[in-house]
Amino acid sequence: MIRSAPLPVTLAAFLSLSACADARDFNDARPNGRGQSPAFAGQTRAPVLEDGVRLRREVVAEGLSHPWGMAALPEGGWLVTERPGRLRIVSAEGALSEPVAGLPQVDARRQGGLLDVAIRGDFAQSRRVWWSYAEPRGAGTTGTAVASGRLSADGRQMEDVQVVFRQDPAWASTAHYGGRLVFDPSGALFVTTGERSVSGARELAQDVSIQLGKVIRIDPMGGPAPGNPRIADGAPGVWSWGHRNLQAAAIGPDGALWTVEHGPRGGDELNRPEAGKNYGWPVISYGVSYNGSAVGSGETARDGMEQPVYYWDPVIAPSGLAFYDGAMFPGWQGDALIGGLAGQALVRLEIADGRVTGEQRYLQGFARIRDVEIAPDGAVMILTDEDNGALIRLTPQ
């Protein structure tokens, strides 16, 4: 059963007001990349959006171990992944199923495990599901993989399971898997990959023959999708490159792919990746390395490398992206909603003509928000990344 957890009126008002204050504080915070300047006006620290929205929280399901991704089911309810390797069904009433059997083994060390999950509009007939995960490859190496299977009619078993994508090469790292899955309007499947973080691997984000640090576009049942860019010596499916760790992706109101990726200390980026283009990592970046040194030679721009639409310094540590389309929050229509892990907030960006025109944050300090989706009735759904994680429904107070 769904546990309703409305905020008291006084607390709701406090949270609404403190969101604005905290956002102003963020805009006044000292950046890590001192001396760096945005490439154009509004590329960072956009004006705070004053909307007065107060959120009501309902715990739909709890007791989830580090939930990572979710997909709305046509009959109501949600598919939800847990990083240790479990796929669960949360019913429309909030009942949590036993783990679905038949999924392949995952490597759940550090940032690995079972990641995103996605279905298509024909799910009621096909029962087909796609999921991404950190795949063990032997000798301590792992790689981002995507598998697909048919969910049995009783929801207990995944059948006809086949791996449709394996990031090449595998690497002895347990970080930066990327892993978001997004179907584009043509039916092709976008897969985001990380550059595996460690020295020797991260530089390969610039190597188009390697699938590290890329946006990949595939046929949902395997192989590159028709219409991909022709890139000399490019690895199968490469759409764009020069990415660090993309854990947020969605199709925007303009029908194009939008992504948000983790920077180091500063330099989280909102991008609209275009076919055959280079997004710069690790040659250019805003912010600095974790040890305080410059990223590369400290450049934030270079010819032939794309600028982010928007960046954060300090970071929000983004994971999960949805564009609002619903009736509950009419003032949010078309806006980007992003989960903040380190930021512990739901971040809203107002976007006009491809540029960010305002930012607001909600639920500041509430939890690490791992994923964001829009329910069919217009409620905003979030997953909290905790040992006792939860699926939470957000509606106007």
Q: Using DSSP bridges, classify how beta strands 345-352 and 355-362 pair: parallel, antiparallel or unpaired.
A: antiparallel
Give CA–CA dist 235/162, Å, rounded: 21
Give CA–CA dist 67/80, Å, rounded: 7
Give CA–CA dist 103/149, Å, rounded: 9
Complete DSSP assignment for 186-239: TS-EEEE-B--SSTTTGGGGG-TTS-SSEEEEE-TTSSBPTT----TTPPTTEE
Give CA–CA dist 108/394, Å, rounded: 29
Q: Which residue in the list 66, 176, 243, 262 is annotated as catalytic? A: 176
CA 23 to chain centre: 21
Sign of the dihedral through C-alpha 27, 32, 37, 43: negative
Is 66 annotated in the active site?
no
Closest CA to 108 of 64, 16, 174, 22: 174
Phi, psi angles (nearest 5°) of residue 332 = -100, 0
Give CA–CA dist 86/66, Å, rounded: 10
C-alpha dihedral, 56 to 386 to 373 to 25, nearest 10°: 70
Closest CA to 350 of 361, 336, 362: 336
Positions marked catalytic: 176
